[in-house]
Structure 1
Amino acid sequence: MPDLFTPLTATQKADFHRRYLAYLRGRDGEPQWQTHTFSVREAFYQRLDQRPVRRTGAPVVRQDVFDHHHVRYRPGEKLDEPTLWALCVAKTHRSERFGVEYAHRIGTAERNGDPGNPTTYIGIEEFYHTRILRDVLRVIGLEMEMLDPSLAQQWLIKTMARLPKKLGLPLILCGEITCVAMFHLLLHKARELFADQPGPMARIEELFAQIMVDEVGHVHYARSQLDAPGLTLAKWLLPLVARGIVDGMPEYYQLFGRERLMEEVVRADVDAAARPYPDRFIPFDAEEQARSAA
């Protein structure tokens, strides 16, 4: 991923901030920080709620088995792939949601609620991701309670939130890259597991598309906030941060294997993950590269 770790010039950073903020306003609408909602996106989800889609027939994952393992750190027995997949979906967003809520609670989130700052939109998008993941699980017949991450992950998140910006931002970039890789793997596995019912699979695709587009934008925003030393540090830390995140969700290793998962993170083509979606954000430098290639 050489492009992600190449610093932007001052002009590119200014252009990125302007274009990304305009993109967020157009895609999300007006932010309401107190309710963690957007005007445009709220209308989108209301339309989804009005036409729910569910798998039919025998459940692919039993609710009681899911509930039993959802509250455990590590599955106590060998589980089938659909159950492992559901647990990965349920646990994936715990850390990000906890981090957003913690930063808001202690007042370290920059200019909370300011519609002129992309971090306002990014924070609210993370709240929507919890809703999306709940809806994904409902498609396969499961209800999910949002739980906190492990105590070790909570400590790591709180430490990161209180770090000086120059130290915290490289870790944030690593976390966002890791999330893109994890969601990419989950979506491809869903296509393997649930292809037998095209309607419900299409709804899962529609929901995951929202997260993938958001997360790729978050990666590029985090990159735009870093200088050359910060990006070099992020590149060096990426495997370590990825292991720290995924170690708190052993289901991922059972479902995908440790080596494949780490390779997916380190070699992740972040822009390719969102390329199928027409509403994705295209960074300034990506456009420049396209023009150069032409």
Structure 2
Amino acid sequence: MPDLFTPLTPTQKADFHRRYLAYLRGRDGEPQWQTHTFSVREAFYQRIDQRPVRRTGAPVVSQDVFDHHHVRYRPGEKLDEPTLWALCVAKTNRGERFGVEYAHRIGTAERNGDPGNPTTYIGIEEFYHTRILRDVLRVIGLEMEMLDPSLTQQWLIKTMARLPKKLGLPLILCGEITGVAMFQLLLNKARELFADQPGPLARIEELFAQIMVDEVGHVHYARSQLDAPGLTIAKWLLPLVARGIVDGMPEYYQLFGRERLMEEVLRADVDAAARPYPDRFIPFDAEEQARPAA
């Protein structure tokens, strides 16, 4: 991922901020921090709520088995792939949502929903991701309660939130890159596990598309906030941060294997993850992307 760790020029940073904010306003609409909603994006979720899609036939995952392992740190060793997948889906957004809530609680994040600050949109998007993942699980017949991340993840998140911005941003970039890789793995596995019923799979794809587009934008925004030394630090920290995140969700290791998971994070093609979606954010055109920082 050499491009992600190449610094932007001051002109590129200013252009990125302007274009990304305009994109967020157009795609999401007006942010309402009190309700964690957007004026435009709510229409998508209202349609989802009005037209639920569910798998038919015997459940692929038992609600009782899911509930039992959802509250555990380490799942049982004999769980099948659909159950492990469901547990990964349930736990993946815990960290980011906890981080948004914690940052607001301690006053290190924008409290008033400033529509001129991209982090306002990013924070609300994380709440939408919880809603999306809950709907994903409903497609396969499961209900999910949102729980806090593991104690290790909580410690990592709290540390990141309290660090000076210059030190915390490299960790945030690493976390966002890891998130893109994890969601891509989950989407690919869904295509493998649930291909027998195209309609429900299409709904899962539709929901995941919202997350993939958001997360790739988050990666580019985090990158735009860093200078050359910060990006160098992020590149060095990526495997450490990724392991710290995934260690809190052992289901990922059981479903994908430790080595493969880390390989996917380290070689993740972030832009390719959102390329299939026409509403994705394109940070720079080819000419601008190739221009080196001074």
Bin of the TM-score, shorter chain as denominator length:
over 0.9
Deviating beyond 4 angstroms after TM superposition, the runs of 4 or more aligned structure 1 residues are 289-294
Which whole-Å deviations, capped at 9, do the CAs of 1:115-171 have from their partners, x for residues lacking one?
Answer: 001000000000000000000000000000000011121111111100000110000
Does the CA-based 8 Å contact 1:104-1:112 persist in structure 2?
A: no
Give, in whole Å, the separation in 2 of the partners of 1:21 and 1:244: 31
Asked if 1:92 is matched to 2:121, the reply is: no
Match of 1:67 in 2: 67
Q: Which moved more, 1:40-49 or 1:271-280?
A: 40-49
User: In structure 2, what is the Cα distance between the partners aligned to 1:291 and 1:17?
Assistant: 17
Please state how far the C-alpha of 1:78 moved relative to its aligned partner: 1.4
Q: Distance in 1 between matches of 2:223 and 2:291?
A: 21
Query: Is the partner of 1:116 in helix, strand or coil?
Result: coil
Kept in 2: contact 1:95–1:157 (CA 8 A): yes
1:37-116 alignment, distance < 5 Å: 37-110=37-110, 112-116=112-116
Q: Give the TM-score of the pair, scaled to structure 2.
A: 0.97
Contact 1:169–1:222 (CA<8 Å) still a contact in 2? yes
Comparing 134-143 and 280-289, the one that deviates more = 280-289
Mapped contact 2:104–2:111 kept (Cα < 8 A) = no
Summarize the Cα distance change of 1:293–1:35 in structure 2 as closer, same or farther, 3 Å threshold.
closer
**Separation in 1, partners of 2:185, 2:14:** 33
CA distance in 1 between counterparts of 2:287 and 2:110 reads 29
Q: What percentage of residue pairs aligned between the two structures are identical?
A: 96
Residues 112 and 119 of structure 1 are in contact (CA less than 8 Å); yes or no, is this contact kept in structure 2? no
What's the offset of the Cα at 1:106?
1.2
Secondary structure, aligned partner of 2:57: coil
Distance 2:241 2:154 in 1: 14
In structure 2, distance between residues paired with 1:293 and 1:190? 40
Superposed CA offset, 1:64-122 (max 9, x none): 00000000000133110000000000000100010000011111014641000100000
Is the contact made by 2:81 and 2:255 (CA closer than 8 Å) also made in structure 1? yes
- 3-state SS of 2:222 partner: helix
Structure 1, gaps ≥5 residues long: none
**CA separation in 2, counterparts of 1:109 and 1:169?**
13
Distance 1:293 1:54, change over 3 A: farther
C-alpha distance in 2 between matches for 1:291 and 1:59? 52
Indicate conservation of the 8 Å contact 2:9/2:293, yes or no. Answer: no
Query: Is contact 1:111-1:117 (8 Å) kept?
Result: no
Q: Deviations over 1:191-218 (max 9, x none)?
A: 0000000000000000000000000000
CA separation in 1, counterparts of 2:236 and 2:285? 22
- Further displaced range: 238-247 or 112-121: 112-121
d(CA) in 2 for partners of 1:197 and 1:287?
43
Work out whether residues 54 and 140 of structure 1, in 8 Å CA contact, stay in contact via their aligned partners in 2.
Answer: yes
Structure 1 residues 85, 152: CA separation in 2 closer, same or farther (over 3 Å shift)? same
Cα offsets for 1:224-275 (capped at 9, x unmatched): 0000000000000000000000000000000000111000000000000000
Is 1:125–1:214's contact at 8 Å kept on the other side of the alignment? Answer: yes
Deviation at 1:287, TM superposition (A): 5.7
Change (3 A) 1:180 1:253: same
**Distance across 2 between alignment mates of 1:24 and 1:126:** 14
CA contact (8 A) 2:75 2:251 kept: yes
Q: Could you tell which deviates more after superposition, 110-119 or 26-35?
A: 110-119
* Change in CA separation of 1:5 and 1:247 when aligned onto 2, cut-off 3 Å: same
CA contact (8 A) 1:95 1:149 kept: yes
Distance 2:255 2:287 in 1: 36
Matching residue of 2:2: 2
Q: TM-score, length-normalised on structure 1?
A: 0.97
